Amino acid sequence: MGRSPRFGSAKRFGARPVARKAKAGRSQFSDVSKFINKVVSTTDEAPYVAKNTFADFCVDERLKKNVTNIGYTEPTPIQDQVIPHILSGKDLVGIANTGTGKTAAFLVPLLDKVLKDKNQKILIIAPTRELAIQINQEFMKLARGFYVYSVCIVGGMSISRQIGDLRRNYNFVVGTPGRIKDLAGRKNCLPLNRFQSVVLDEADRMLDMGFINDVRNLLARLPVARQTLFFSATLSNDIKRIINDFLKEPANISVKTGDTAKGVDQDVIYVRDLPKFDLLNNLLNKPEFSKVLIFGRTKHGVENLSGTLARRGHKTESIHGNKNHNQRQRALRAFKENSVKILVATDVAARGLDIPNISHVINYELPATYEDYIHRIGRTGRAGKTGIALTFID
């Protein structure tokens, strides 16, 4: 008999489940069943069968070798379905869950385009500096040995150094909307009319963050004859309007299987018998909580929680808006490399980051919106693996 989503399975974490009404001001979360979704065995479900292998794609043989060297064996569904369209030069709208390999889906064919014509220039726009840096790192792995260069332009880093980098020979520019707009507004610094291809990654997040006017401004300044690629987890009316205004007969590819990844076991923990922090501390002492991403709502709250956990003996780091770029990158690197097992973050970390093998995502505080929840928990259960997402309900 199925369990009631009203109660979740908080007993297994040491808290007594209690049915409670949502507090005032939380109408969007009044149905806590949104936070409960048991992973169902898919042994009877036929696995996705790719139509192509990486060897089948009509791309440079050296690029195929790099793809193999970094560990890609067969294309994910989004890679399998969009790479042929991008190689053909078509505009494209790709809708996919987070953690499905979108970055390589556009980098592989665009790198091939540059290898065939070194005059090509590609602009990749991402909503956050962390995602832009991650895309650039993936680019460098795929482009190893090709003498094809990128410039990463994001806020929080030296703009004078980025201006210097833009004076060198490059084919790819990866950046955030604000910094791209800033540099494009400086004479002869970033001439947008020279870019033949543009990618908007996490387009829905860009609009959520208030970049809609910047995005429109940038797209309007690019050449009319270009290839435009949109990638998003959702397709809002605002995004549809941009697609209608700036894309030409795009191929529409959707491999989205639901709001949240299939491999994420979601549950709730009601805070009643023990103080909230004690419940969290008890969880983190369990051996199965091996690599944990904890989300809070505010910068100060996240920093305080991280410090309190450290005083309890946990190896922890934090990222939030009060930390500068270098501090955030050091924290992310320590978490990725398992120097620390706990990262406490605001929603700045919720989108786009690909951190391997996160065992648990914990929503210590509720997100502002259900979309933020989806992207928070998308940090676990990635690339075919399973993970657990737990949400504290006060």
Could you tell me the mean pLDDT of each successive run of 10 residues in the chain, 394 residues long? 38 42 45 71 63 93 95 91 97 85 95 97 94 94 96 92 95 97 94 97 86 93 96 86 94 77 84 92 96 95 96 95 86 93 85 81 91 84 83 92
Residue 236: predicted pLDDT: 80
Residue 153: predicted pLDDT: 97
For the domain 10-39+263-393, what is the CATH code?
3.40.50.300
Residue 310: predicted pLDDT: 97
CATH level 3 topology of 61-254 = Rossmann fold (3.40.50)
Per-domain boundaries in the chain: 10-39+263-393, 61-254
What is the residue-wise DSSP string for 310-330?
HHTT--EEEE-TTS-HHHHHH
The tokens for 393 are 């309900």
Minimal CA–CA distance to 202: which of 142, 132, 262? 132
Q: Do domains 10-39+263-393 and 61-254 have the same CATH topology?
A: yes
C-alpha to C-alpha distance for 183 and 159, rounded to whole angstroms: 8
Q: Considering just the CA atoms, what is the radius of gyration of the chain in Å?
A: 22
